[in-house]
Structure 1
Amino acid sequence: MPLLKPFGRLFLTIFLPVFLFFNTGFAVAASKVEILHWGDDWSIEVDGQPFELKGAGMGYSDEAGIAILAKAGGNAFRTWGTEHLDVQLAAAERHGLKVLVGLDMQKQLQGFDYNDSAAVAAQLAMLKASIDRYKSHPSLLGWIIANEPNLMIGADGGAVQPNPKVYAAMGDVLDYIHEHDPDHPATVAFAFTGTLADDVNLALKSMPTLDFLSFQAYGALPAIAPLVEELAVELPYMVTEFGPLGHWEMPATQWGREIEEASGAKAAGLVDRMYQAGLNNPEGQLLGGFAFLWGHKQERTPTWYGLFTEDGGRTAAVDELTRLWTGQYSEQRAPSAWGLRLNELQATENIVLAPGESVHARLQASDPEGDSLSIRWQLMHEVQARSHGGHFEAEPDAVRLDAGKTTSVGDVHEMMLRAPLQPGEYRLYAWAQDGSGGVATANFPFLVAAP
């Protein structure tokens, strides 16, 4: 969509809200979203009002999780597809949230062949139908045409550029949006890879009228702004995914298992990187961002990326986002875990145990209000088939835990356990719960090997 460039600070936008019958059958007014450019600054307006983006990537398909986002001070969420979009948009409208909709554009990384013209045409028809279906919803903020289309992995494990036809196909979608839905901007969410600058430049050749850029980075979050400056592109940008240090950014054991940060370190690191990247107070070309993930997700572990645990427990990172969005913490904050050791050793020290060996586990976890914590331990196998690009990954099986009682003194929580009798790769998990919905998490990978 064209950008509005005001003369001085005075500009006038006149439009009449058009009341349409959405697919639900209720009369609604379609939203009008504009990206404004004044001097060195860019901003968003929704229905003529300034919109300061406070977003998260939505992992919930039910209203309860969406309502929690609104209560925490968020005002928008993004999706990665349209499977649950009817429910999500309806909930967003009820709770005053806006939605940046991710379209279901297939990835070359997952095997979609962009040389197959018939498949590409069928995909375009499907995407057009989705755009037509949802373009008039009052909670629509805009469109993500594709998620990480530049994420391609070569034979050596490094990043390589995708087929240029991927971007040509995205250009066709962009053209359709501009023609049939000029009231909502469109973007492409790029993965932060070693070829990112080349990827963006290649994409813009096929999509010169793209409304804004989007980037997805974790440990590399503070590097986005310098990259945008280097690109010298007159476009604003969002950060459509940011979160803890990624599993590819963390050290691994000698047998190749990634070592996850404890939840307290995750929350502290998240805030630090947000400040470094300017997400606490977006200005210039930065429009804001979406924290990953408002929900639960299995990726390398069941606790790595979710801001919530599988049973709905709230981690300290949620409290930090609430503080940044509202200016204050919630009344009841979640506990934080700062480390888990086995036999007083850290996971980076590559713990190898004999079958049945006795092991001492020590968790450091604290609660900001001083609440007593209930500690739950679980032993699991490691993931067998590792996913790429955030796609589906099966949660590993739990293993019977032969353990004694937990003793807690202050912030230290200890127990004795026995290593499994079967050799293999395992991971010990600890959850520290405050009884009010808050939880801290930590885990430790180890190897059991026969003598």
Structure 2
Amino acid sequence: MQCIALSSARANTSSPALLSPVKSELIATNNGYVIHRDGKPYFIKGAGGRSNLALLAQSGGNSIRTWGTDNAKAVLDEAHKHGLTVMLGLRIGHERHGFDYNDEDAVAKQKAWVKTQILAFKDHPALLAWGIGNEVDLFYTNTKVWFAVQDIAAMIKALDPNHLITTVTAGMDKTKLDLILERVPDIDYLSINIYGGLETLPKALLDMGYSGPYVVTEWGPTGHWQVPKTDWDVPIEQTSTQKAQSYRERYAAGVLAAPGRALGSYAFLWGQKQETTPTWYGVFTEAGYPNEVVDALHYNWQGTWPSVRAPYIKSFTLNGKVAMNNIHVKPGEPLHVNLAVGEYQADGYTIRWEVLPESTDIKAGGDPESRPQPLQGLVVRDNHTGNMTLNAPQKPGGYRLFAYVLGSSGKVANANIPFYVD
């Protein structure tokens, strides 16, 4: 996937001030592999995105990942200010977007552009690693892309001996693994984006014959392509409470359970974006409030919970049914909602409701999507503690009811229920 905030095709190539690079390297030991940064072991406790880096550092994170070099100087400076490193993405062409890896001139121009980015940012002290491309293998057919990635990796190695080099794939299978190992020898480790399935990744890689180092460069909730769907074919999103549990379990099984192989990870997404819904992947609301997942990441990175935690979702029903029950209603029908909320500290909370038409602007690979606009005037009774009545929309079709529970601590729990107006 891609972070929307970094999706522009233009890059900031202004030269940074004279800076001293901090060397990062991959070290082989008797127990596997470890990253050394400035001569010391460095385990990546990272997140993709660049929102609220002060909170990331406070939560125990030590690194961020970008998908491109847009505003890279500012991103690197801000990360350095908070003691964080950066895996700086190098955006290269995707076959599914029309880039042709048989076009030697286009490939050469792309490499020349990447060179400008390396020269511009290679000496910044926040830089940890270069990430060549993001999911260039998604829906691809032309495996020549790996020769282009290798050509770029070899160039980086010659231009910048101080930083790690990797390329990011959409999941992993043996065919792709074998191609990368054969054609891209100058990367230091594999970088893999994986959501549901992270728990079994360490064993899966061994089964493919790979016992080398890797970083999980995107992971988080169960992907919208991996969850159960309603009978009108829309995916059912986990609540923030379920997501927080997934982040804990997947990190333990897919990252911590593979010492000497897993070099760390970047959770997705330290920010907010519209992808299927406005809440599926971001750990912040559109207003910037952190949700329960931020607390889970704090626990992953520090081994303790923050002193003040977000509220959580106990249950959420519409007409007595949960999201998995394929809820069909009639136009204008009164709908009865019950949301049960739990608190870790009795500081109170407020609930905000929102009804959105089901998104029809569904893309792949994190490409930008438009957000549906909320419907107004449907709520007819709300006791502000979780019991609410609204009228179903008059227009037939798919909708979602969103609940946002904002604790007095400034942290959020959220959930949504899809329903269909017949």
Q: Normalising by structure 2, what TM-score?
A: 0.93
Secondary structure, in 3 states, of the residue corresponding to 1:437?
coil
Q: Does 1:383 align with 2:359?
A: yes
How big is the shift at 1:201?
0.9
Secondary structure, in 3 states, of the residue corresponding to 1:330?
coil
How big is the shift at 1:135?
0.8
How big is the shift at 1:234?
5.4
Q: Decide whether the 8 Å contact of 1:282 with 1:288 is kept in 2.
A: no
Aligned amino acid, residue 120 of structure 2: R
Alignment of 1:70-109 (within 5 A): 70-109=57-96
Q: Decide whether the 8 Å contact of 2:381 with 2:390 is kept in 1.
A: no
Please name the residue that 1:117 is paired with: 104
Q: Which of the pair has the greater relative contact order for Cα pairs under 8 Å at 6+ separation?
A: 2
- Residue by residue over 1:417-438, the C-alpha shift from the partner in whole angstroms, topping out at 9 and shown as x without a partner, is 1001111211110000012210
Aligned amino acid, residue 94 of structure 2: K
Q: Tell me, in whole angstroms, the C-alpha distance in 1 between the residues paired with 2:216 and 2:57.
A: 20
Please name the residue that 1:260 is paired with: 237
Please name the residue that 2:179 is paired with: 202
Q: Tell me, in whole angstroms, the C-alpha distance in 1 between the residues paired with 2:17 and 2:101.
A: 38
Q: Tell me, in whole angstroms, the C-alpha distance in 1 between the residues paired with 2:402 and 2:328.
A: 17
Select 1:225's aligned residue among 186, 202, 207.
Answer: 202
Secondary structure, in 3 states, of the residue corresponding to 2:297?
helix
Secondary structure, in 3 states, of the residue corresponding to 1:404?
strand
How big is the shift at 1:209?
2.7
How big is the shift at 1:332?
1.6
Secondary structure, in 3 states, of the residue corresponding to 1:54?
strand
How big is the shift at 1:274?
1.3
- Residue by residue over 1:141-160, the C-alpha shift from the partner in whole angstroms, topping out at 9 and shown as x without a partner, is 011112112211xxxxxxxx
Q: Tell me, in whole angstroms, the C-alpha distance in 2 between the residues paired with 1:414 and 1:400.
A: 18
How big is the shift at 1:72?
1.3
Q: Does 1:362 align with 2:338?
A: yes
How big is the shift at 1:57?
0.6
Taking only aligned residues, the RMSD between alpha carbons, in angstroms, comes to 1.7
Secondary structure, in 3 states, of the residue corresponding to 1:276?
helix
Q: Decide whether the 8 Å contact of 1:204 with 1:210 is kept in 2.
A: no
Please name the residue that 1:353 is paired with: 329
Aligned amino acid, residue 198 of structure 2: L
Secondary structure, in 3 states, of the residue corresponding to 2:217?
strand
- Residue by residue over 1:187-221, the C-alpha shift from the partner in whole angstroms, topping out at 9 and shown as x without a partner, is 1111126xx22112112222123210111111100
Q: Tell me, in whole angstroms, the C-alpha distance in 2 between the residues paired with 1:214 and 1:381.
A: 36
Please name the residue that 1:415 is paired with: 388
Q: Does 1:428 align with 2:401?
A: yes
Q: Does 1:443 align with 2:413?
A: no
Q: Decide whether the 8 Å contact of 1:375 with 1:406 is kept in 2.
A: no
Q: Tell me, in whole angstroms, the C-alpha distance in 2 between the residues paired with 1:206 and 1:142.
A: 20
Q: Decide whether the 8 Å contact of 1:44 with 1:50 is kept in 2.
A: yes
Aligned amino acid, residue 144 of structure 1: G
Q: Decide whether the 8 Å contact of 2:101 with 2:107 is kept in 1.
A: yes
How big is the shift at 1:84?
2.5
Please name the residue that 1:191 is paired with: 170
Alignment of 1:329-340 (within 5 A): 329-340=305-316
How big is the shift at 1:406?
2.7
How big is the shift at 1:408?
5.6
Aligned amino acid, residue 130 of structure 1: Q
Q: Tell me, in whole angstroms, the C-alpha distance in 2 between the residues paired with 1:212 and 1:122.
A: 26
Please name the residue that 1:312 is paired with: 288
Aligned amino acid, residue 80 of structure 1: W
Secondary structure, in 3 states, of the residue corresponding to 1:201?
helix
- Residue by residue over 1:140-188, the C-alpha shift from the partner in whole angstroms, topping out at 9 and shown as x without a partner, is 0011112112211xxxxxxxx5311111111111110111112111111
Secondary structure, in 3 states, of the residue corresponding to 1:385?
coil
- Residue by residue over 1:295-326, the C-alpha shift from the partner in whole angstroms, topping out at 9 and shown as x without a partner, is 10110000000011111111111111112222
Aligned amino acid, residue 203 of structure 1: I
Alignment of 1:7-46 (within 5 A): 26-46=17-37
Q: Decide whether the 8 Å contact of 1:377 with 1:431 is kept in 2.
A: yes
Q: Decide whether the 8 Å contact of 2:279 with 2:285 is kept in 1.
A: yes
* Deviation larger for 326-335 or 381-390: 326-335
Q: Decide whether the 8 Å contact of 1:262 with 1:338 is kept in 2.
A: no
Please name the residue that 1:130 is paired with: 117
Please name the residue that 1:248 is paired with: 225
Identity level (%): 39
Q: Tell me, in whole angstroms, the C-alpha distance in 1 between the residues paired with 2:255 and 2:223.
A: 20
How big is the shift at 1:340?
2.1
How big is the shift at 1:29?
1.1
Q: Tell me, in whole angstroms, the C-alpha distance in 2 between the residues paired with 1:124 and 1:340.
A: 51
Q: Tell me, in whole angstroms, the C-alpha distance in 2 between the residues paired with 1:291 and 1:121.
A: 33
Secondary structure, in 3 states, of the residue corresponding to 1:109?
helix
Q: How many residues align?
A: 410
* Deviation larger for 240-249 or 393-402: 393-402
* Structure 1: unaligned runs, 5 residues or longer: 1-21, 153-160
Cα gap change, 1:25/1:140 in structure 2, threshold over 3 Å: closer, same or farther? closer
Q: Tell me, in whole angstroms, the C-alpha distance in 2 between the residues paired with 1:290 and 1:34.
A: 18
Please name the residue that 1:68 is paired with: 55
Aligned amino acid, residue 328 of structure 2: V
Cα gap change, 1:90/1:28 in structure 2, threshold over 3 Å: closer, same or farther? same
- Residue by residue over 1:217-265, the C-alpha shift from the partner in whole angstroms, topping out at 9 and shown as x without a partner, is 1110012101221233353111111101111111111111110011111
Q: Tell me, in whole angstroms, the C-alpha distance in 2 between the residues paired with 1:303 and 1:197.
A: 33
How big is the shift at 1:23?
5.5
Q: Which segments of structure 1 move beyond 3 Å, counting only runs of 4 or more? A: 22-27
Q: Tell me, in whole angstroms, the C-alpha distance in 1 between the residues paired with 2:280 and 2:361.
A: 16
Q: Tell me, in whole angstroms, the C-alpha distance in 2 between the residues paired with 1:218 and 1:304.
A: 12
Q: Does 1:275 align with 2:252?
A: yes
How big is the shift at 1:339?
3.5
Q: Normalising by structure 1, what TM-score?
A: 0.87
Q: Decide whether the 8 Å contact of 2:16 with 2:120 is kept in 1.
A: no
Select 2:304's aligned residue among 311, 322, 328.
Answer: 328
Select 2:48's aligned residue among 31, 37, 57.
Answer: 57
Please name the residue that 1:237 is paired with: 214
